Structure 1
Amino acid sequence: MRTGNEPLTARSPLRMRFWLSLWGLLWAVGGTLAFAFAGRVGWAVACGVFGIVVVTDLIIVIRHIRQGPHFQPGRDVPPYEPPRHH
């Protein structure tokens, strides 16, 4: 159902972000190990830094999921109306 104010009331697909972050973490760890064993230190460091970014995103996503429906409402909850400033 479109209300016309979706950019203001958009919801983040947290569960999809969770699974994509896990997929990214798998690749980051794999890349770090593969490049480290291949002697490509620069690429191993780059993959390690990417892994740190992914872990940070995972922590934020899990925190928001655990905070409940205010941050991740179900499909049956209509979007929140933006605050009206007078």
Structure 2
Amino acid sequence: MRSGNEPVTARSPLRLRFWLGVWGLLWAAGGTAAFSLAGRPGWAAACGVLALIVVVDLVMVVRHIRQGPHYQPGPDIPPYEPPRG
């Protein structure tokens, strides 16, 4: 529901989320490799699962970035009335 007081210049932080995801993916992949070499399969599996989750998140972020901006009502559109009832 719109309240009518949203910021006019609001932006989605998708690019920041993308780069933080890349950073997390590097750490998770590095952790997977390091724990595998150290003979710690449990920790390696945990880092591998985390890396998989980060990859899925990065795919979603890239998908949202490629979709482009979506329609948002401007300041000249009055706020919606709350539902009655």
> TM-score range with shorter-chain normalisation?
0.7 to 0.9
Number of residue pairs the alignment of both structures matches: 77
Gaps of 5+ in 1: none
Length-normalised TM-score, structure 2: 0.73
Runs of 4 or more above 4 Å deviation: 78-86
Counting only pairs closer than 5 Å after superposition, residues 1-86 of structure 1 correspond to structure 2 as 3=5, 5=6, 12-70=12-70, 84=81, 86=83
Q: Which has the higher contact order (CA 8 A, sep 6+)?
A: 2
Q: TM-score, normalised by structure 1?
A: 0.72
- Measured after TM superposition, the shift of residue 70 of structure 1 is 1.2
The aligned amino acid for 1:24 is: G
CA distance in 2, matches of 1:36, 1:81: 58
For residue 33 of structure 1, give the secondary structure of its aligned residue in structure 2.
helix
Q: Once the 2 structures are TM-superposed, how far is the Cα of residue 82 of structure 1 from its aligned partner?
A: 7.0
Q: Which residues of structure 2 form unaligned runs of 5+?
A: none
Instruction: Report percent identity of matched pairs.
Output: 61
Residue-by-residue CA offset, 1:62-83 (whole Å, 9 max, x unaligned):
0000000118x9xxxx689875
When the two chains are superposed, the root-mean-square deviation of aligned CA atoms in Å is 3.2
